[in-house]
């Protein structure tokens, strides 16, 4: 084992993005959002569960008042591949009509889930919707989504850590990594 990987549950996980790189990018994204929303009070909609660490970190870097709400959606289950069927398992508690909304997403893969979320939220008549995604996976997409605040472009690997999981494992890793003997 080297300093760029760890063994967790007998699985070798290779570091793709370090904790310091994550925190630097989160600070940069928070500064951009602060500039863009200097006279507004956006609602940050965290997409659970994967984005919970990201939203906790980025909200501390946003220097304008924000309001929080949460949605949970499912398209993966316990699999490494999306089922293609998006289900809302926890909806918003707040009314977003006439409000500025920023979707906080952990990773954009096929784009289907994000597209579904945007259409669902647009139907609720917010003033604006923007997307802040930590990771943009390099995969062919039929659906193009406009992501205003993008963290990192990553290769087509199944990643874990910093909130992202594989069957509910590895969310607590302080970095983004991938299982080295898998994709």
Question: What is the phi/psi pair of residue 6, to 5°?
Answer: -135, 165
Q: Is 91 a catalytic residue?
A: no
**DSSP secondary structure string for all residues of 28-53:** HHHHHHHHHTTT--PEEEEEETTTHH
Q: What angle do CA 19, 112, 163 make, to 5 degrees?
A: 25
Contact 128, 159 (CB under 8 A): no
Can you list the pairs that 46-50 forms with residues at least 24 positions away whose Cβ atoms lie under 8 Å? 46/70, 46/71, 46/104, 47/71, 47/72, 47/73, 47/103, 47/104, 47/105, 47/106, 47/113, 47/117, 48/72, 48/90, 49/163, 49/165, 49/171, 50/105, 50/106, 50/107, 50/163, 50/164, 50/165, 50/171
Q: What angle do CA 165, 170, 172 make, to 5 degrees?
A: 105
- Which position among 109, 136, 138, 165 bears the catalytic label? 109
* Active-site residue list: 109
């Amino acid at each position: 084992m080297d300093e760029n990987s760890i063994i967790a549950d007998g699985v070798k996980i290779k570091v793709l993005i370090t904790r310091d790189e994550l925190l630097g990018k989160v600070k940069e994204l928070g500064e951009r959002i602060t500039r863009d929303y200097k006279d507004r009070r956006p609602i940050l909609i965290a997409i659970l569960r994967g984005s919970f660490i990201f939203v906790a970190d980025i909200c501390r870097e946003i220097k304008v008042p924000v309001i929080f709400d949460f949605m949970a959606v499912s398209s993966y289950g316990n699999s490494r591949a999306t089922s293609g069927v998006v289900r809302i398992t926890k909806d918003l508690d707040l009314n977003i009509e006439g409000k500025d909304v920023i979707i906080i997403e952990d990773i954009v893969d096929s784009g289907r889930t994000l597209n579904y979320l945007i259409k669902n939220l647009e139907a609720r008549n917010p003033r604006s919707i923007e997307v802040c995604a930590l990771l943009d996976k390099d995969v062919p997409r039929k659906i193009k989504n406009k992501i205003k605040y993008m963290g990192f472009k990553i290769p087509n690997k199944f990643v874990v850590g910093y909130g992202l999981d594989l069957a509910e494992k590895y969310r607590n890793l302080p970095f983004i990594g991938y299982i080295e003997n898998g994709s």
